[in-house]
Amino acid sequence: MKKKKVVAQIMVAVPNSIEWIEVLAKASTDGAVFSVTGGDHFMSDDMFMAAELLAKKAKNSQLKEEKKVRLTKMAKEEKATKVLSLAKPILSLILSEVMALLHWHNMPTDGKLGEKRKRWETIFKSGASPLSYLKWTEEDEAALQKLETEPISIKEMDLG
């Protein structure tokens, strides 16, 4: 008579833990989920929390990108306002100053210094304002920090 092999089931993480939810979130196929859960049904709280974790990570990534863009625009504006505060005639602006002003207006910065000065003069005389944007605020930073640090709770999910 043949002996049956007994296969021990080894858990990669403890169910209902954040590690478990992260492993579930990374499982991208039904087979992978089956392997992680040991065949647990797909409607467990952990499955919902894994889906919420993915959504939270996507929103976090989006907010970080938005922060980067807005802080870059703020830095451009700060440099340009410093140059404008010097109240120099256009012909006496040095390359870095003209570049700061053109970057602020999202204008091309190719060409020689004289061409850049003419480009800035055209913008200046037309009275064109740079494109407006939302500044990155303390509230935005607090929302990002909350998103990064706040644990996922099944109670806060919209399940229906």
Q: Give residue for tokens 């467990």.
A: 44
pLDDT in tens, 68-124: 999 999 999 999 999 999 999 999 999 999 999 999 999 999 999 999 999 999 999
Is residue 57 pLDDT above 60, yes or no? yes
Residues in the chain: 160
The model carries a pTM of 0.71
Q: For the chain, give every domain's residue range.
A: 18-150
How far, in Å, CA of 158 to CA of 93, rounded?
57
pLDDT, greater one: 75 or 51? 75
Q: Give residue for tokens 């196929």.
A: 29
CB 78 within 8 A of CB 136: no
